[in-house]
Amino acid sequence: MPHTASRYLAEGPRVGIRHFTHADGAEFTARVRESKDLHHPWLFPPDSAGAYSAYAGRLIEDPTKAGFLVCEKEADGALAGFININNIVEGGFLCGALGYGAFAHAAGRGLMREGLGLVVRHAFGPMRLHRLEINVQPGNAASIALARACGFRLEGFSPKMLFIDGAWRDHERWAITSEMTIPD
| Overall number of domains in the chain | 1
Residue 153 lies in a domain: yes
Which whole-number Å values give the CA distances from 172 to 133, 147, 162, 183, in the listed order? 10, 11, 11, 21
How confident is the model at residue 115, as a pLDDT?
A: 97
How confident is the model at residue 52, as a pLDDT?
A: 96
Rounded to whole angstroms, the Cα distance separating 148 from 154 reads 8
Do the beta carbons of residue 130 and residue 177 sit within 8 Å? yes
How confident is the model at residue 4, as a pLDDT?
A: 45
Residue 164 lies in a domain: yes
Residue 105 lies in a domain: yes
How confident is the model at residue 130, as a pLDDT?
A: 96
Residue 165 lies in a domain: yes
Of 32, 24, 19, 22, nearest to 2 by C-alpha is: 24
Q: 55: domain CATH number? A: 3.40.630.30
Rounded to whole angstroms, the Cα distance separating 24 from 16 reads 15
Residue 33 lies in a domain: yes
How confident is the model at residue 112, as a pLDDT?
A: 96
Give the DSSP H/E element, type plus range, for residue 15.
strand 15-19
**∠ CA(68), CA(72), CA(73), 5° rounding?**
110
Grouping H, G, I as helix, E, B as strand and the rest as coil, residue 122 is: helix
Instruction: Point out which residues pair with 11 in neighbouring strands.
Output: 16
Q: Is the pTM of this model over 0.75?
A: yes
- Containing structural domain, residue 14: 5-177
How confident is the model at residue 7, as a pLDDT?
A: 81
Residue 183 lies in a domain: no
Residue 138 lies in a domain: yes
How confident is the model at residue 26, as a pLDDT?
A: 96
Strands 15-19 and 95-102, by their bridges, are unpaired
Residue 28 lies in a domain: yes
Rounded to whole angstroms, the Cα distance separating 75 from 129 reads 31
pLDDT, one tens digit for every residue, the chain (184 residues): 444 445 899 999 999 999 999 999 999 999 999 999 989 888 999 999 999 999 999 999 999 999 999 999 988 889 999 999 999 999 999 999 999 999 999 999 999 999 999 999 999 999 999 999 999 999 999 999 999 999 999 999 999 999 998 999 999 999 999 998 776 6
